[in-house]
């Protein structure tokens, strides 16, 4: 799952990355820094896995005041 600073929330880390990239001569309009959490979840089907990960996001993995999240399911692996 991907965690991002919410739209409109100041992201000082992203700003620092953005200005460093500019100093290196790259042309960037903006940079936002988030976080990736790779999870292996035992579930019968993708929908169940998604629901379970959503619960994890809401209870622990994100703070909804400042962060949004996206869940990507690469599919069953066994």
Partner 1 sequence: MTSPQPRVGVMRFPGACDDRDALWALAALDAEALFVWHMERELPDLDAIVLPGGFSYGDYLRCGAIARFAPAMQAVADFAAQGGLVLGICNGFQILCEAGLLPGVLRRNESLTFVCRDVPLVVERDDTAFTTRCHNGQRLVIPVKHGEGNWYADDALYEELEARRQVVLRYAEPVNGSRNDVAGVINEGGNVMGLMPHPEHAVDPLLGSADGALLLSSLVDAARERALAAV
Cβ neighbours around 30 below 10 Å, total = 9
* Binding status of residue 13 toward partner 1 by CB under 8 A: yes
Q: Which stretch binds partner 1 (CB under 8 A): 20-28, 47-55, 57-65, 69-77?
A: 57-65
CB of 39 to partner 1, least distance (A): 13
Asked if 57 and 69 count as a contact pair (C-beta separation under 8 A), the reply is yes
* Binding status of residue 51 toward partner 1 by CB under 8 A: no
Asked if 41 and 76 count as a contact pair (C-beta separation under 8 A), the reply is no
Q: Which stretch binds partner 1 (CB under 8 A): 21-29, 46-54, 63-71?
A: 63-71
């Amino acid at each position: 799952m991907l965690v991002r600073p919410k739209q409109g929330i100041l992201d000082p880390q992203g700003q620092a990355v953005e200005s460093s990239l500019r100093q290196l001569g790259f042309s960037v309009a903006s940079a936002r820094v988030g976080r990736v959490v790779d999870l292996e979840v035992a579930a019968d089907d993708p929908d169940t896995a998604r629901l379970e990960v959503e619960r994890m996001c809401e209870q622990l993995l994100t703070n909804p005041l400042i962060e949004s999240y996206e869940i990507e399911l690469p599919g069953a692996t066994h």
